Amino acid sequence: MGLPPVILLVLPDHWARALLRAELIERGYDTVGAPDLRTAFRFPSLGEPRGPVRLVVLDEAALDGDEHRVLDLVLSEHGRPPVLLLARAFQEPSPGPWARVVRRPFALGELVAIVEKMVPLPRS
């Protein structure tokens, strides 16, 4: 079996990030988490031995100020993986490189199922 896909989580809420990370690890994914894009940018391009970041899950709350510029730097650092945006319930999401947008409210299982469709696990 190959390396598990690496998912980068950028969610300001510690518990939401921890719960999603735990569930993805349980399903077989390798995950790293950050509370904001500036922290995510400090992660080196993972490459060996973990493999490249295959998906960025981004909470829209992490996009205040000039964070779109920082997002571009993060995506460049990791080979431009697709971005799953977790959007606010009643506002149009800001324009961006979103491969998919999920609006609140959503269940944890629903979010994990979307990740599994976007980045399938390698077959054993």
pTM of the model: 0.92
CA distance 41 to 75: 9
- Please write the tens of the pLDDT for every residue from 44-101: 665 567 788 999 999 999 987 778 889 999 999 888 999 999 998 888 888 899 999 9
Amino acid at 3: L
Share of the chain above pLDDT 70, in %: 94
Round to the nearest angstrom and report the end-to-end CA distance of the chain: 5
- Residue reference for tokens 């079996």: 1
CA 2 to chain centre: 21
From CA 102, how far away is CA 17, in angstroms rounded?
Answer: 16
| Token duo for residue 53 | 């970041």
Domains of the chain are 9-118 (3.40.50.2300)
